[in-house]
């Protein structure tokens, strides 16, 4: 099995032409398009409702139009254990302003109208409280493609997996450098769309460098799954995006984009700043286009039986 999506894309049918591609949906198709261009996909995150619902929609749509291949919309939560101070501040302000789950779906619908696949990133408690089946239905009706659940173990995800399958939504789970081979096999088997690889242990936040463990984690994940592997936590600029794009199928950026909104003096300024960074990051993931990316040969491995 080739562990690299870009290598698999060469000489293969497009996502719309192959049976497997038909099952991949919009998220898989976005990765396939990036792979066909010999590059990684750019995934950008912004929370709903910050600095207001309408301003968040404007910023997220600006990010999509500036080059994000996939957009994550965060569902603000009162106890965001995985998130660092930048995202914590943003979601606190969104909650203080009265954002609701319905506003999240409205944001998803508006961003999906750009043609870019949209997923919701959320802790599990709001989904459970809202109602799993109802949440899946409303997310699908809004045009959402799936859900990223950082605190939901696959062993406890049965109701969500069933609801997601019924609505053709992609369930995305996280793996970490500390994940054992057994955990990697279990988690990746429950994923659809892509596998979210946390580059470091700890909370979200822009960092001076991406963790050294990230490339090794991607290679380990590819021994268990043919799904695209996207790396998040720590990427903040085009150079880091290019670094991660050298070994991963996708580059996830959150805190750096949220910081642009926090630092902006107006909603219009936030849109312009987010779009500028998104364009720089998009250029970063394209820096590897057409090259023989170092480390790709190491990712070609047989899938364990």
Question: pLDDT tens digits, residue range 245-273?
Answer: 999 999 999 999 999 999 999 999 999 99
Residue with tokens 């995202």: 87
The pLDDT of residue 210 is 54
Residue 26 resides in a domain: no
Residue 98 resides in a domain: yes
CA-CA-CA-CA torsion sign (20, 21, 24, 25) = negative
The pLDDT of residue 208 is 45
Which segments of the chain are extended strands (E)?
41-47, 70-74, 118-121, 146-148, 170-172, 174-175, 195-198, 229-232, 250-253
Residue 255 resides in a domain: yes
Range of the domain at 236: 33-287
Query: DSSP per residue over 120-139, as a string?
Result: EE--HHHHHHH-HHHHHHHH
127-162 pLDDT tens trace: 999 999 999 999 999 999 999 999 999 999 999 999
- CATH code, domain carrying 73: 3.20.20.70
Mean pLDDT, residues 186-202 taken together: 87
Mean pLDDT, residues 68-91 taken together: 89
Active site residue 7: no
Residue 210 resides in a domain: yes
Q: Which two tokens stand for residue 264?
A: 């902006």
Please state, in angstroms and rounded to a whole number, the distance separating the CA atoms of residues 212 and 217.
Answer: 9
Residue 293 resides in a domain: no
Active site residue 79: no
Residue 295 resides in a domain: no
Mean pLDDT, residues 12-29 taken together: 53
- Note whether 14 and 32 are within 8 A (CB): yes
Mean pLDDT, residues 118-123 taken together: 97
Q: Which two tokens stand for residue 70?
A: 């996939």
- Residue 189 pLDDT more than 70? yes
- Count of structural domains, the chain: 1
The pLDDT of residue 6 is 61
Residue 183 resides in a domain: yes
Query: DSSP per residue over 171-213, as a string?
Result: EE-EE-TT--HHHHHHHHHH--S-EEEESSSS-----SS--TH
The catalytic residue among 24, 72, 170, 249 is 72
Q: Which two tokens stand for residue 206?
A: 């822009």
Residue 153 resides in a domain: yes
The catalytic residue among 24, 69, 83, 249 is 83
């Amino acid at each position: 099995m080739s562990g690299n999506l870009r290598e698999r894309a060469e000489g293969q049918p497009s996502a719309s032409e192959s049976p497997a591609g038909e099952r991949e949906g919009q998220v898989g198709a976005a990765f396939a398009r990036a792979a066909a261009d010999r590059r990684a996909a750019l995934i950008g995150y912004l929370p709903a409702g910050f600095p207001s619902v309408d301003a968040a929609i404007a910023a997220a749509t600006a990010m999509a139009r500036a080059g994000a291949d996939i957009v994550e919309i965060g569902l603000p939560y009162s106890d965001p254990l995985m998130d660092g101070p930048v995202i914590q501040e943003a979601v606190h302000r969104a909650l203080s302003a009265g954002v609701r789950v319905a506003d999240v779906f409205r944001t998803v619908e508006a961003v999906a109208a750009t043609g870019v696949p949209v997923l919701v990133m959320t802790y599990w408690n709001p989904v459970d409280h809202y109602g799993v089946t109802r949440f899946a239905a409303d997310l699908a009706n809004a045009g959402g493609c799936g859900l990223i659940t950082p605190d939901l173990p696959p062993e406890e995800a049965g109701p969500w997996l069933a609801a997601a399958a019924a609505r053709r939504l992609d369930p995305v789970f996280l793996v970490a450098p500390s994940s054992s081979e057994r955990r990697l096999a279990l988690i990746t088997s429950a994923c659809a769309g892509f596998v979210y690889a946390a580059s470091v242990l700890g909370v979200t936040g822009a960092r001076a460098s991406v963790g050294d463990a990230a490339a090794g984690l991607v290679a380990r994940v590819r021994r268990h799954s043919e799904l695209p592997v996207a790396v998040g936590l720590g990427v903040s600029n085009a150079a880091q995006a290019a670094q991660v794009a050298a070994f991963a199928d996708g580059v996830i950026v959150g805190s750096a984009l949220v910081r642009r909104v926090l630092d902006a003096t107006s909603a219009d300024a936030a849109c312009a700043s987010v779009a500028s960074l998104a364009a720089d990051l998009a250029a970063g993931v394209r820096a590897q286009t057409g090259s023989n990316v170092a480390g790709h040969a190491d990712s070609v491995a047989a899938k364990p039986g």
